[in-house]
Amino acid sequence: MNVINVVSFFDEGYAIQGAILAASLARTATPEHPVKFHVFCIGGFQERFAGLVVGLSSPSFSVVCKDIDNPFDRSVSAAYFNHLTCMRLCAGQLLQCDRVIYLDADTFVRESLSDLYDIDLEDKVIAAVKDKVFSQILDGDQTHPSGVTKVNIPDYYRNVLGIKGAYFNAGVMLIDLKKWRESNVKDRCLDFLRKHMITLAVDQDALNFTLGDRTLLIGYEWNFIAEICDLSDLSTTPRIIHFAGLSKPWLPLGKPRLFQPEYWQFAMATPYGDKLVDQFFALASSEEARIKSMAALIPSHLHPIKTGWAKHVPSILLKPLAESLCTFGKGRIHRTGVALWNVLKLRQGSPKPF
């Protein structure tokens, strides 16, 4: 029996998404390739998370939950602003197995991971997918698809990171943990972050700097970033969806992306769907400051207040109409309802008139 070891790191804010990720792993595990999901809970909620996923256990799937302290204090260094992703640097010390698939907390598995787990790494430390956006920047495009201009130009990648080939996305990695430990990846990445506290992608930059020539590039199907990629990038169907960036299915301001309806359909079929709906409405109702800052990043011509039929809906009707659309069908989030919530919140808190 070839057990597939998978690892992720969650904090309280990602507990529900983590449970949905676990459910997607349980659905795609097989008796021939059982999955052992190693979950490290940052913030002392291991017992609660274990209770969430206890019903997923089967001969093909198991979850091992452990509490862990966060060693990456953002008050010490700006390089640690996203402690969840920095935690992946600790995988070699936290796990005793020789091979593991690392998954970001905002991923969703659609098919068995056995083909990924069995890849021959040869002399490489990891296998990962080329990052489409940052590779475009490296090729000379200084503009992110969202319209936000990068302050650091390709010279940063060539002169600081020393990257001459492709730049990989670290949200999904197959890791040879033995080589990872032998190569002292964690300490080398932390040394990079101490020297370069201002980066574009924090520990992902550090990993590219450290493992650029020890990385096997694999197809986009193993890390299909819904906000960036399109199906023309693939020769097969996506195996892992990665909701990187601002457009996550559970964020009120998220724009419709590929596979978001599938994510919600799957989530609502799990015991966690209603909890995700509650989280969505809590975010839509309370995170005014974040919504304002996100609104400022949206190019004017794409702004939901100025596009589509929703701009004609009177404000007094937006909330009840959005709620009815979002909760239609056992609480399933409907993207039209999300669009109306976006317009409502942006009208209430937009930093500029429309």
Q: Which residue type does 300 have?
A: S
What is the structure's pLDDT at 261? 79
pTM for the complete prediction?
0.80
Given pLDDT bands bounded at 50, 70 and 90, which one contains residue 310? low
What is the structure's pLDDT at 294? 52
* Ordered domains of the chain (ranges, CATH): 4-233 (3.90.550.10), 272-349 (no CATH)
Q: What H or E segment, with its residue span, contains residue 264?
A: helix 260-268
Residue 145 falls in which region: left (phi positive, over 0), alpha (psi -120 to 50) or beta: alpha
The whole-chain average pLDDT of the chain stands at: 80
Distance separating alpha carbons of residues 353 and 114, to the nearest angstrom = 52
For the chain, give the number of residues. 354
Give, rounded to a whole angstrom, the gap between the first and last alpha carbons of the chain. Answer: 60
Distance separating alpha carbons of residues 255 and 343, to the nearest angstrom = 12
The strands making up 61-68's β-sheet, listed across from edge to edge, are 61-68, 35-42, 4-11, 99-103, 168-176, 126-130, 215-218
Query: pLDDT above 90 covers what percent of the chain?
Result: 41
With beta carbons less than 8 A apart as the criterion, state whether 125 and 180 touch. Answer: yes
With beta carbons less than 8 A apart as the criterion, state whether 318 and 344 touch. Answer: yes
pLDDT tens, residue by residue, 243-264: 988 778 887 665 667 888 788 8
What average pLDDT does this structure show over 218-238? Answer: 88
User: Pairing between strand 35-42 and 215-218?
Assistant: unpaired
How distant is the alpha carbon of residue 135 from its chain centre? 18
Residue environment code for 246-273, b if the CB has 16+ CB neighbours within 10 A, otherwise e: ebbbbbbbbbebebbeebbebbbebebb
φ, ψ dihedrals at 298, nearest 5°: -80, 125
Listed ranges 207-211, 274-278, 335-339; the one with the highest mean pLDDT: 207-211
Query: Nearest Cα to 297, choosing from 353, 350, 227?
Result: 350
Distance separating alpha carbons of residues 108 and 267, to the nearest angstrom = 10
pLDDT tens, residue by residue, 68-99: 988 876 665 666 667 777 899 999 999 999 99
Listed ranges 150-154, 197-201, 205-209; the one with the highest mean pLDDT: 205-209
